Amino acid sequence: MDLEKFKSDLERDQNGILDLLGCSILKDHSAVEILSHSHLTEEQRRDEDLMAHVQALERTNALCTFVFEYAGGELLGFWHGPDEVNSDEADIIVHDTEGQYEATYADNLAEALCYWHLYNSEDEEEFSWLVDAFARLGVFVRPLSWEEVNTAFMKPRAFKIGIDPNDYRDQAYEKLT
């Protein structure tokens, strides 16, 4: 999938795909609270343990390419891992506001957006609309049921490229403390 074309198509989309998903294309990483850690107080910044956790997150995030930001602050993008695999081989993940990373079980960004939406909303009508809207953009999304998506998200899954970003973050933290 040509990432720049995909983002451009979504920006020009008149159907409201991003509005329905409650997300936007991420353009300025420095403005993203969970990447910049701008929410931390001065007192929190003096906490060595907390700052080691922040550094571990930064090291992990440096191996990700985040493409979308949800209204709730979660980020969706690619986990390239320490081997820095290209986006076509990378896992598609959601990074939440608690510092956790979750696999999306998707083959492309459109599927990841749709599956994450279905998983959280349980609205199969909206999901069908999204599948059709992405098809109009020329992007195929496998039409799964909420039960199939929920089952996929509930099962433990090995990351395609090896190390889980949560484990990578934890290992970085241990080295820093």
Tens digits of residue pLDDT in 29-53: 888 888 998 889 999 999 999 999 9
Residue 169: pLDDT over 90: yes
- Name which of 47, 44, 48, 28 is nearest 36 in CA terms: 28
Exposure on the CB side of residue 8, measured as CA atoms within 13 A: 5
**Which 8-state DSSP code applies to residue 97?**
T
Inter-CA distances, 164 with 15, 62, 145, Å = 35, 14, 26
d(CA 32, CA 117): 21
Give the chain's mean pLDDT.
91
pLDDT band at 92 (very low <50, low <70, confident <90, very high): very high
pTM: 0.91
pLDDT of residue 141: 94
- Residue 151, pLDDT score: 83
Query: pLDDT tens across 150-167, in order?
Result: 887 777 666 777 789 999
* 1 or 52, higher pLDDT: 52
Domain containing residue 138? 3-176
In this predicted structure, what is the pLDDT of residue 158?
66
* Number of independent structural domains in the chain: 1
